[in-house]
Amino acid sequence: MSDSLKARVREKLLRQLSENGGHPVEEVESDDPRLVAIDFDLAALEEVSEDDPLVEELATKYWVP
């Protein structure tokens, strides 16, 4: 697989958001803790480099191969 782990985790998080009702920032009244957690993790992922331990931690948390 040519995609980096970070890219696969990002894809999984975006898919989770889509499947669970969208992006909390777009839904002002959404207080679904699952969506908020996914949004938080996605924002954190965007802030780190490919080799940061957080990438591996999120891959484990969201079961990304």
The pLDDT value given to residue 35: 85
Fill in the DSSP letter of residue 3. S
Q: Could you tell me which residues come within 8 angstroms of residue 65 by beta carbon, excluding any fewer than 6 positions away?
A: 8
pLDDT digits (tens, 9 = 90+) for 6-50: 999 999 999 998 887 765 455 545 677 888 899 999 999 999 999
* pLDDT score recorded for residue 53: 97
- At 52, the pLDDT band (50, 70, 90 cuts) reads very high
